[in-house]
């Protein structure tokens, strides 16, 4: 196990080092699919330069990173590449522990014929390696790392949150979640799955009538809000003003910058009638947070899958998505490899995603450099890419629910007259 993992690590380090030193690094760090106004490295350098000039980085509209990031890079700006590579690797190191946790929760209280649905220890043994490979060797991750986008740091923090939750440490989990929420607001939705997992681990049933439930919930939320407040106040003291709040959170929520990216927001708000702008901003932002409660209710027994779903929804519907965010939830996919037999659209979805990934740079070039296409072409591929991602996520959700159904009802179902049954959603 250690040897293949080391091999994968060495290979990914080599690829990243080669790309860092080549002329492609400059090209990649300017691609709009890989960097966004929130996490571009050029803007971090600009913020540091403004700080050196004596001007607050938040007085302009170029810099939208949190103050902790400025101070982190103030000290390590020369070693930025190493920082990014390290954050990538610690992310991938999570899943060794993660998988062991997952297996422990699978009790054998399932019908007899579902044995083939259960995963053998041998399969499970290889999952951490697959996850590490999926993340480290994913072209999206490599591009994001070479572009030195701070998305990698955000991913690392979320990975730490997942690790600490799975390990059962409520305090660390709350701290990392607060850090992730502080970086970009959307990980707030991971509060629910984190809470559910910890409750499950402590064998507290999710029942509003029980006092144990409320006790733990209040404890966890106090830890979370407390650490969030501490981090925000620390940022205040670092720079001496509250300017960062409208610059970072106001920017994420009100989407003033319409730089094209792979998300749905930019063209929608470029073509929006002024009268309805505020309404649709609210609709689109609520859309990200909206699925938390229904998903939590449906998946309260399966908080790990809930974490995956939430991360996927954030990556698709956030205001400035990049390929680094997509790489985060795609790294989870090998964990659900046992759902492969229930996936319905996987071929179509993978073709759509591959085609769109190939067409993004082509249509960008045609619009911006050749001048022979216009913004509609790029927008169309954006739409298609997001539809592909939505289909992927909902396909996995379908497969998961179907497996759960089979685990409780049996794999080979028969109709009343004995013929083979078909399952539908009704």
Partner 1 sequence: MATRHLFIELQTLNRRAKLKIIFAKFQCLCIIPALVGVDKKTCIQFCLCTFQEEMVIRPLYSGDIYASFQFRTQWDTDFLHDGKKVSHYRLFPKSLGQVLSKFSVRELHISFTQGYWRTMQWGQPFIPSPPGAELWVWFHHTVTDVDGNWKELTNVLSGIFCASLNFIDSTNTVEPSASFKPLGLGNATDHRFLRYATLPREIVCTENLTPWKKLLPCGSKAGLAVLMKSEKLFHSSFHSQAVHIRPVCKDWQCTSTAWELRQTLNVVFDLYTSGQGKKEWSLFKMFSRTLTEACPLASSSKIYVDVTDNPGGELFDLSPSSPLISTAVVLGDRRTYSVYDLTKKETFGQLRSLNLLLRWKGENDMLRPPLHAERYVSGFGLQKGEIHTCLYNSHPYRAYPVLLLDSLPWYLRLYVHTLTVTSKTRENKPSYIHYQPSKDRLRPHLLEMLVQLPPHSVTEVTVQFERALLKWTEYTPDPNHGFYIGSSVISALVPSIVAMDTNSTRDRPLFSSFFPTKEESSYFMRVYTEPLLVNLPTPDFSMPYNVICLTCTVVAVGYGSFYNLLTRTFQVDEPSAPLAKRLANIIRRLRGVPLL
Q: Compute the least distance from the CB of residue 14 to partner 1, in Å.
A: 30
Q: Is 167 in the site for partner 1 (CB under 8 A)?
A: no
Q: Is 106 in the site for partner 1 (CB under 8 A)?
A: no
Q: How far is CA 276 from CA 256, 281, 286, 290, 383, in A?
A: 14, 9, 15, 20, 21
Where would I find the H helices in 240-276?
A: 244, 251-254, 265-270
CA-angle at 138, arms to 81 and 314, nearest 5°: 90
Q: Compute the least distance from the CB of residue 49 to partner 1, in Å.
A: 4
Q: Are 39 and 68 in contact (CB under 8 A)?
A: no
List 291, 362, 366, 411, residue binding partner 1 (CB under 8 A): 291
Q: Compute the least distance from the CB of residue 55 to partner 1, in Å.
A: 6
Q: Is 29 in the site for partner 1 (CB under 8 A)?
A: no
Q: Is 267 in the site for partner 1 (CB under 8 A)?
A: yes
Sole residue written with tokens 């049933």: 205
Give burial (CB, 10 Å; 0-12/13-18/19+) of 229.
exposed
294-353 binders of partner 1 (CB under 8 A): 294-295, 298, 316-317
Q: Is 257 in the site for partner 1 (CB under 8 A)?
A: yes
Q: Is 62 in the site for partner 1 (CB under 8 A)?
A: yes
Element spanning 337, H or E: none
Q: What is the C-alpha to C-alpha distance for residues 16 and 141, in angstroms, rounded to an integer? A: 10
List 7, 22, 26, 30, residue binding partner 1 (CB under 8 A): 30
List 128, 260, 303, 321, residue binding partner 1 (CB under 8 A): 260
Residues in contact with partner 1, shown as a per-residue x/- string from 345 to 384 under the rule CB under 8 A: ----------------------xxx-x--xxx--x---x-
Q: Is 414 helix (H, G, I), strand (E, B) or coil?
A: strand
Q: Compute the least distance from the CB of residue 344 to partner 1, in Å.
A: 12
What is the DSSP code string of 7-64?
A: HHHHHHHHHHHHHHHSTHHHHHTT-TTT--TTT-HHHHHHHHHHHHHTS-GGGSSS--
Q: Is 286 in the site for partner 1 (CB under 8 A)?
A: no
Cα torsion angle, 212, 213, 214, 216, sign = positive
DSSP 419: S
Q: Is 67 in the site for partner 1 (CB under 8 A)?
A: no
Q: Compute the least distance from the CB of residue 241 to partner 1, in Å.
A: 15
Q: Is 105 in the site for partner 1 (CB under 8 A)?
A: no
Size of the site for partner 1 (CB under 8 A): 65
- Supply the angle between the helices 121-136 and 323-330 in degrees, to the nearest 10: 170
Nearer to partner 1, 83 or 295 (CB): 295
Q: Compute the least distance from the CB of residue 124 to partner 1, in Å.
A: 26
As given in the structure block, the two tokens for residue 395 are: 């396909």
Give burial (CB, 10 Å; 0-12/13-18/19+) of 394.
middle
Q: Is 80 in the site for partner 1 (CB under 8 A)?
A: no
Q: What is the C-alpha to C-alpha distance for residues 11 and 263, in angstroms, rounded to an integer? A: 31
Q: Compute the least distance from the CB of residue 51 to partner 1, in Å.
A: 11
List 24, 68, 387, 407, residue binding partner 1 (CB under 8 A): 387
Sole residue written with tokens 């947070």: 289
* The one segment of 140-148, 153-161, 237-245, 250-258 that binds partner 1 by CB under 8 A: 250-258
Q: What is the C-alpha to C-alpha distance for residues 119 and 307, in angstroms, rounded to an integer? A: 21
Q: Compute the least distance from the CB of residue 314 to partner 1, in Å.
A: 13
Binding site residues, partner 1, CB under 8 A? 30, 32, 42, 45-46, 48-50, 53, 55, 59-62, 256-260, 264, 266-274, 284, 287, 291, 294-295, 298, 316-317, 367-369, 371, 374-376, 379, 383, 386-387, 390-391, 394, 397-398, 401-402, 405, 413, 415-416, 421-426
């Amino acid at each position: 196990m250690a040897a293949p993992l080391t091999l994968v690590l060495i290979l990914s380090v080599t690829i990243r080092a080669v790309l860092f030193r080549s002329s492609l690094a400059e090209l990649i760090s300017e691609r709009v699919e890989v960097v966004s106004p929130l996490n571009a490295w050029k803007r971090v350098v600009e913020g540091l330069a403004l700080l050196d000039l004596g001007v607050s980085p938040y007085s302009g509209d170029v810099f939208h990173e949190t103050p902790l990031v400025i101070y982190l890079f103030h000290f390590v700006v020369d070693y930025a590449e190493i920082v990014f590579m390290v954050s990538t690797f610690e992310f991938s190191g999570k899943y060794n522990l993660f998988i062991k946790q997952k297996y422990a929760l699978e009790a054998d209280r399932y019908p007899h014929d579902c044995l083939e649905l259960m995963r053998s220890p041998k399969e499970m043994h290889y999952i951490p390696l697959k996850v590490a490979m999926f993340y480290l060797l994913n072209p999206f991750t490599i591009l994001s790392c070479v572009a030195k986008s701070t998305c990698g740091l955000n991913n690392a923090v979320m990975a730490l949150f997942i690790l600490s939750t799975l390990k059962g440490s409520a305090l660390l989990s709350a701290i990392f979640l607060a850090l992730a929420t502080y970086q970009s607001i959307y990980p707030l939705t991971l509060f629910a799955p984190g809470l559910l997992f910890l409750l499950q681990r402590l064998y507290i049933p999710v029942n509003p009538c029980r006092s144990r439930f409320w006790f733990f919930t209040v404890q966890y939320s106090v830890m979370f809000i407390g650490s969030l407040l501490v981090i925000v106040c620390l940022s205040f003291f670092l720079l001496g003003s509250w300017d960062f709040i409208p610059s970072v959170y106001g920017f994420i929520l009100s989407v003033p910058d319409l730089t094209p990216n792979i998300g749905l927001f930019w063209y929608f708000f470029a073509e929006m009638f002024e009268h309805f702008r505020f309404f649709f901003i609210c609709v689109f932002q609520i859309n990200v947070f909206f699925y938390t409660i229904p998903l939590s209710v449906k998946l309260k027994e399966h908080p790990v899958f809930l974490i995956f779903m939430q991360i996927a929804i954030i990556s698709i519907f956030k205001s400035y998505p990049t390929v680094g965010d997509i790489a985060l939830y795609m790294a989870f996919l090998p964990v659900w490899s046992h759902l492969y037999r229930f996936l319905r659209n996987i071929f179509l979805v993978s073709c759509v995603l591959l085609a769109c990934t190939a067409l993004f740079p082509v249509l960008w070039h045609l619009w911006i450099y050749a001048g022979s296409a216009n913004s509609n072409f790029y927008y169309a591929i954006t739409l298609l890419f997001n539809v592909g991602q939505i289909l992927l996520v909902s396909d996995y959700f379908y497969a998961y629910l179907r497996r759960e159904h089979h685990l409780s009802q049996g794999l080979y179902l028969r109709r009343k007259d004995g013929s083979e049954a078909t399952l539908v959603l009704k």
